[in-house]
Structure 1
Amino acid sequence: MSDRSSMNDSKQEWSTSSWRSKPVAQDVVYPDAENLSTVLQQLKSLPGLVTPTEVDRLRKQLADVADGKSFLLQSGDCAELFSYCNPTQIEAKLKLSLLMSLIIIWGARVPVVRLGRVAGQYAKPRSKATEVVDFDGEKKEVLTFRGDNVNGFDVRDRKPDPERLLKAYFHSSATLNHIRASLSSGFADLHAPMSWSFSHVRSPALQAEFERIVESLTDALDFMKTVGADPESRSESGSSLSSVDYYISHEGLMLEYEEALTRVQKPSSKGLHSNSSAEREERTPSEVPYVLSAHTIWLGDRTRQLDGAHIEFFRGIRNPVGIKVGPSMKPDELVKLLDVIDPRCERGRVTLIGRYGAKNVDALLPAHIRAVNASSHAQSVIWCCDPMHGNTTSSPSNPSVKTRLFSDIVTELASALRIHQSLGSRLGGVHLELTGDMDENGFSVTECVGGSMQLQDRDLARNYQSHCDPRLNYEQSLDIAFLISHFLRGQRLGKTSGAFSPAPASTLVNDQAGGSPNEEQDQILSELVKGISARP
């Protein structure tokens, strides 16, 4: 291998295993190396979870997102557990994604590319290798829980086990199989009866707006059906009013697993979407490596070192990829990273997933946008906002419990929309940790504080289920969908000021003392309500 300085040369040698010569961040040390080798050989013999044709179809759709012709909705669990592989929880996530995308389409009037953090999001990076826990009345230091495909959440099951990689494959396969079967069986039929419940909304103005949008959607769909504009057959992309494309993604953390599920194949001609005829001529005849563990994988904030193993692996794969961009990323480093991952500047090849935090986004995002705008990547990347990861905090009543404030989440999202617009850029998508899960009484999870449900700090204990980071629940997720839809509608109609122009984060009352985040306290939601109430 040549040194890193020549990595921009697209002819530099690359192989599915060349990453092994680089430093591996967030590495997992397996006590039984022989067992790991046996497991990886088994994975190499198994079919891919997705197909190259599907990957290329996503590439084409993400190119449309980069061109402003579509919007990207990436959503799902912070970290999946194997126990989530059941019909109820899979369908809850799928339904929520479909409802959110329908709401966004109503406001934006563009297609939504649906991308789930599902069927493989089993590994999580950690800041510390060990943690101290209470065990049989004593303090004991154990390995940190790294996700179900590494070790167990139970403190007695923290030794990394290679067999969990096989379990991850089969649980991913079963999850994806149920998603595909559900979609092909009419689960996404927009004319099927749907439960649109907004009893959680305490603001009369917001409730009226939600119901108005649903009524408008229903009327439009009924009209299309009446005039015969509801084709039963699928379009070229596989979409119609009764079926949709749905793609899966996860963080590409476990490189042994990703390498074992990489297959070198000739790309589908239908999926080719290049910037020039010369590029098409160069790439069409050759076989290229596809990671078939998911349609797309992303680089985390802890694994994007320019001289690291993850960058080496990501730069050679055919799949579109995501890159988390946060406070530790320098503007010039971001451009160097893009030069390595996407030297040909292919539209939609890279999605930049901003995760700054409400208090940092105004100070840090503009410099990153300007750096990319001044580079050759200005027209090819997709900018996506992750308003979750930079806004994790502790519960005032129980510091050991992690939560997120809805007002912080909306502040970062609103600021990102405003900043991109002011700099002549475009926010092309949103990346959310959420779940549609409910308890046996039909009550949503309670992990984030606020939203139109007005969840309070004391409500967290009612149905807190996450073993990792807090997620938006069903109602809070729909709140976000309506907020995005409202903004994009205003942008489309040339009315972007007002309802979604938040006050500075420093002026927001974030309910740190555990009070109720109502319309008077949560200024962002209050501004939205005023905007809705005043709109003709």
Structure 2
Amino acid sequence: MTTATDRVRQRAAQQPPWESDDVLRGVRQDLARLPPLTDAAACRRLLHDLARAARGSAFVLQGGDCAEPFADSAPDRISAKAAHLAALADRLETRAGLPVVRVGRFAGQYAKPRSQDVETSDDGVVLPVYRGDAVNRPEAAPAARRPDPLRLRSAYDHAAACLDTLLVGGHLVEGHLVEGRLVEGHPAHGPADRAPSPVYTSHEALLVDYEEPLVRPDRTDPHTGGRYGSSAHMLWIGERTRRPDGWHVRFAETVNNPVGVKLGPGATPQDVRELCERLADGRPAGRLSLITRLGAADTARLLPPLVDAAAAFSGRVVWLCDPMHGNTVRHGSGRKTRVLADVEREVRDFFAVLRAHGAHPGGLHLEMTPDDVTECVDRPADLTAGALPRYLTACDPRLGPGQADRLITVTAGLLERKDVL
């Protein structure tokens, strides 16, 4: 007998095998009745800001955790992440003389696609893979790894807590629903003649049973109306789920949010053309961000035909560089890591290719943390030197504060066109 969960998995990639259809159904009903997490008007403001990046008159800095733990919804944690993102954006803005759009990978980055369904623990036990706190827990124990649909409701509650902290702290400058009431955001402290720069939220729109129930009417669109995904201001589709015939692209077609799509080494010019036609054609500028994750060794070779494929949408599509995911390697300790020198090289090649083809380098998409971690290494020689003592990520390695600072310095130089490309 085909269950509801089976049917979802048939039409959408990377869905967990939820342990109870009845519980899942109840959670979806709850999510559909709850207030929207984000305001449609704020999503539209982000769209306007992204349109500037598409035209080359702004730059996007999108960053945060690989897999966001529920524990990081505590006020001190989300405040630290927002402050880190804002500080990096301020430095970039000051150095490059260009407005920086701040988009956090937080308040919803609770689910992760995985390349394998199972993994083997250090004790030799085969376990379901950890898929993010919205699905299961990271501890290497069978009970922790069961996909529990009740965690979807917890994801909503933790996202709401993050948004409340951003609002009170002055990071989230927007109308925001708190217990069903629309309240105004508090402007960030600063000079009276300088408008505050908001921090928008984003995550990968991975889980069907979280995203679908949180779709709400978009009453801000005077022309077509329509709907928006209220789980975040910006939603993106990952490399593993961007199939043209899959649920994720079809879902993105139905909402008015700004959306992004990751493009890995397997992306073809035809893929890019189809994505632009389906997600950008007839839409406002800034609606679609193409997020390249090609790897330092291959960006200069693979990116040019992809940029050419989107030429008809020049000035309307935002090109973002994710220099993290294409540069994952193994450290001598066996842990996944990334080499900062490779990350920098991919950013440089991204700028060079975009400019050579008459397009605008629109921004960076980074996995980073304000915590003093040792998850990425600086040079290839560091892959065999010592251990990684402060390895705290729940999934993939992130840039520490000093490494993120260094990359921002490199990027500012590229924006100033002072570096040799």
Could you state the TM-score of these two structures normalised by the residue count of structure 1? 0.71
1:39 aligned to 3, 6, 27, which one? Answer: 27
Instruction: Output aligned runs, 1:63-462, within 5 Å.
Output: 63-135=51-123, 139-156=124-141, 157-183=144-170, 189=189, 230-231=191-192, 240=195, 243-267=196-220, 284-373=222-311, 376-396=312-332, 398-399=333-334, 401-437=335-371, 444-450=372-378, 458=385, 460-462=387-389
Deviation beyond 4 Å, 4+ runs, structure 1: 19-22, 184-188, 454-460
Distance of 1:187 and 1:48 partners within structure 2: 21
Q: Which amino acid aligns with 1:461?
A: L
CA RMSD, Structure 1 to Structure 2 (Å)? 2.1
Assess, with a 3 A threshold, how the Cα gap between structure 1 residues 59 and 145 changes in structure 2: closer, same or farther: same
Deviates more, 1:342-351 or 1:164-173: 342-351
Contact kept? 2:107, 2:159, Cα under 8 Å:
yes
Distance of 2:109 and 2:15 partners within structure 1: 17
Contact kept? 2:236, 2:259, Cα under 8 Å:
yes
Assess, with a 3 A threshold, how the Cα gap between structure 1 residues 408 and 178 changes in structure 2: closer, same or farther: same
Q: Which amino acid aligns with 1:44?
A: A
Contact kept? 1:98, 1:188, Cα under 8 Å:
no
Distance of 1:43 and 1:63 partners within structure 2: 31
Assess, with a 3 A threshold, how the Cα gap between structure 1 residues 188 and 448 changes in structure 2: closer, same or farther: farther
Q: Which amino acid aligns with 1:125?
A: P
Distance of 1:39 and 1:148 partners within structure 2: 16
Q: Could you tell me which runs of 5 or more consecutive residues in structure 2 were left unpaired when the two chains were aligned.
A: 1-6, 172-184
Deviates more, 1:299-308 or 1:257-266: 257-266
Assess, with a 3 A threshold, how the Cα gap between structure 1 residues 93 and 458 changes in structure 2: closer, same or farther: farther
Contact kept? 1:446, 1:455, Cα under 8 Å:
no
Shift of 1:92: 2.1
Shift of 1:332: 1.2
Name the structure 1 match of 2:178.
Answer: none
How many correspondences in the alignment? Answer: 399
Shift of 1:286: 3.7
Q: Which amino acid aligns with 2:218?
A: Q
Contact kept? 1:449, 1:457, Cα under 8 Å:
no
Q: Which amino acid aligns with 2:233?
A: H
Shift of 1:244: 2.2
1:482 aligned to 409, 418, 421, which one? Answer: 409
Per-residue Cα deviation, 1:331-371 (whole angstroms, up to 9, x for no partner): 11210122122221531010000000001111100110111
Name the structure 2 match of 1:200.
Answer: none
Per-residue Cα deviation, 1:48-88 (whole angstroms, up to 9, x for no partner): 11101111111111111111111111000011011112233
Distance of 2:148 and 2:119 partners within structure 1: 18
Distance of 2:218 and 2:415 partners within structure 1: 39
Give SS of 2:291's match: strand
Q: Percent identity?
A: 36
Q: Could you tell me which runs of 5 or more consecutive residues in structure 1 were left unpaired when the two chains were aligned.
A: 1-18, 191-229, 233-238, 269-283, 438-443, 502-536
Larger radius of gyration: 1
Contact kept? 2:104, 2:201, Cα under 8 Å:
yes
Distance of 2:9 and 2:159 partners within structure 1: 29
Q: Which amino acid aligns with 2:315?
A: Q
Assess, with a 3 A threshold, how the Cα gap between structure 1 residues 316 and 84 changes in structure 2: closer, same or farther: same
Give SS of 1:115's match: strand
